[in-house]
Amino acid sequence: MKKRKLLLLGIAGCLATSFAFQLNVAKAYEDDGSFYVLDEDGNAEFISTDTTNQSLFQTMTSSIRSLFSSPTAETYSFDIQSVDPNMYGIVRFKALTNSTYKYTEVDSGREGYFSPNSAADAAFIRTEGDFVICKMAGVVMKVAASAVDSIITLEQAGNNYSRYTVTNGRMAHTFSYYSSGSVTTSATRVGPQQSYIQNNVTYYSYDGHYFYDNFNKMIDDYRAGHYNNAVNKSNPYYNYYQYLSLRSTANYNAAFYDDYIKSVVGTTPSAMLTTGAEFIAAQNAYHINPLLGFGIAINETGFGRSSYAINRNNLFGIAAYDSNPDNATQFASTQDCINQWAYIYMQQRYLNPIDPNSVYRGPHLGDKQSGINVKWASDPYWGEKAASRPYYIDNLTPDYGRYTIGISNDAHIKFYKEADTTKLLYTCEPRGTNDSLYSYPMIVLGSVTDSSGAKWYKLQSDIPLTSTRNGLNATGTYDASRDYVYAQASKIDIVFQGSEHSTLSDADIFASLNLVNSSNLIAGFTVGSNVSTFIANVKSLSPATTVTVKNASGTTITSGVVSTGHTFTFTTNNIVSTTYTMVIRGDVNGDGVIDARDYNRVKNHILGKVTLTGSYFLAAKADRTTDTSLDARHYNRIKNHILGKLTITQ
């Protein structure tokens, strides 16, 4: 049976005691519908001082409690010295008002913060002096005992703790948070059901990657520092939209975005009613994914109905600091806001891996381990909530799964102009004390193998390159066809194999089709094979690759017999390969067949009447030898092939 709750247009993913949005209707949804305004500089979230519709807010709060789960005031007396180090349970944090708790990451020493009004529990691992070690939102954190209300069992927590379930083929994450000083829960969609996730089973995870059907086994693994008991121990899950780089694109037109907003807000005023074209314009200008940006804006403004969205065209809570929320930036228009968010906040700061202010944690929404979420939000599940919007909007087609996503497995990754260690562009690495950088995603465009046999990935760059691709230009115009880099494949783990952007390297394509590359002269084609078949074979191997074939006159062709002298290129994600030339061994005149005209051309070359070069010279050899000259042997080989005395091997 579906659990249903009212769509609350609130703040920070929690039921706060004030209500900033102008509402006259509440809409029913099956999953999370909470919204919030954030400090884009990574400070604490703010709670609006706007008390408009206070009574409606209180009514909606009560309705949500009765529909979803009853909040409970867990008043335990916490004494860290009396905690059983072997107990299996959760850490229940103390409630706070408009503030955050600080933590230190156990493995890196990196400092962070979170609000219990957004996430009230974590997995208990152990105690250390006056600190509690626990895990939440992807990080093992060290939290002061003063931040902890209690360490309790699941039974004591009732239903108010983090867990994952499946509803109608979709995974949902239920999380606890504080509402008016009491603990309750909400849920958000995190993607399609995975093969290892079963119906009617509760799963536990405090990183969203490894899932357990037994809570105690999860705690055992966390304490041991591995995931051996996870149901997907060899296949970590990465929420597609949560780990998709903002340097991706979306396929929807403006009407789709606008119609979606209209379907939700009805006649209620909204600043997002006609922003579809504006998000697409920002994609075209700055190459920032409009679907992800649109989802963030929905969550930040309650489908465009917040007072700052309507009165200040501020769709992202920009400059609405906790200390002074009314400092929220006034934009000339919603287009101006979207452009500044895309260019200034995303490109120059959060997607800038050489940012001296160390804001960069990866080009994705993320969690508290990596991504924009690390610095942007005190809600540990901000990235997950923002990623949920495309799941509602996209409904898994046509954008879901287009891109191949790789995750870094090293804190220091060097990015090169080409698959060549002498052509370093920049190094992505920690830039300050206790400022770790890890587990961030990259869009994988393809792979290549260098002369030593080492494999490299071709990647979409997070930062624009210069016009010559010899340097970086964070303030420049992003050009997807130019702004790609290479990194050694050993540094990157493929976690999502895309469809449209699934590619093979040129070398891998040739190997799969039994073609031989000799200085960009490509032999191995069957005599009489068709150009259309070659194109189709490449497409089936590498769906994102487009093949352009031209005849000897330079005219693009899509059919006809493969012939010596035809050229072709591969285009993948606007990146065009080198030009290759086709060779049919024995087809010396370039008509795709082997006959008397071909051995006559070889004879005339020997006699000095014509000169064969390039693909025609290779075709005239009629074998796979490394001869550098033509003589009677080659002439006779073609003649004997015609007479049926031998067959030229392609």
Domain residue limits, the chain? 405-496, 506-643
Residues in the chain with pLDDT values less than 50? 1-75
Give the strand pairing for 170-179 and 182-192: antiparallel
Beta-bridge partners for 133? 126, 142
> CA dist 371 to 178, 353, 377, Å?
25, 12, 11
* Nearest Cα residue to 639 out of 605, 609, 594, 607: 594
* Helix pair 254-265, 276-286: axis angle to 10 deg: 140
| 493 contact partners, CB below 8 Å, separation of at least 6 | 406, 407, 409
User: CB atoms < 10 A from the CB of 450, how many?
Assistant: 15
- Integer Cα distance of 110 and 270 in angstroms: 39
Query: For 311-325, how does the pLDDT look when each residue is reduced to its tens digit (9 = 90+)?
Result: 999 999 888 765 577
* Nearest Cα residue to 485 out of 340, 354, 349, 289: 354
> Which strands form 139-144's sheet, in the order they lie side by side?
111-114, 101-105, 139-144, 131-136, 121-128, 90-93, 148-152
- Integer Cα distance of 523 and 529 in angstroms: 12
Q: Check: CB of residue 445 under 8 Å from CB of residue 429.
A: no
> CA dist 271 to 266, 267, 301, 534, Å?
13, 12, 9, 51
Q: Check: CB of residue 91 under 8 Å from CB of residue 122.
A: yes
Instruction: Specify the pTM.
Output: 0.72
Task: Report pLDDT for 392.
Answer: 85
Q: Check: CB of residue 602 under 8 Å from CB of residue 634.
A: yes
- Integer Cα distance of 47 and 17 in angstroms: 8
- Integer Cα distance of 492 and 313 in angstroms: 40
| Token reading at 597 | 């005209």
Task: Report pLDDT for 432.
Answer: 66
Residue 78: CA atoms inside 13 Å, Cβ hemisphere, count?
21
| Token reading at 195 | 């093969």
Q: Check: CB of residue 335 under 8 Å from CB of residue 278.
A: yes
User: CB atoms < 10 A from the CB of 206, how many?
Assistant: 25
Element spanning 339, H or E: helix 334-340
Query: For 419-433, how does the pLDDT look when each residue is reduced to its tens digit (9 = 90+)?
Result: 999 999 999 887 766
| 540 contact partners, CB below 8 Å, separation of at least 6 | none
> CA dist 631 to 13, 264, 496, 603, Å?
80, 78, 54, 8
User: CB atoms < 10 A from the CB of 263, how many?
Assistant: 10
Residue 165: CA atoms inside 13 Å, Cβ hemisphere, count?
16
Task: Report pLDDT for 25.
Answer: 23
Cis-peptide into 398, omega within 30 deg = yes
- Integer Cα distance of 187 and 31 in angstroms: 6
Share of the chain above pLDDT 90, in %: 66
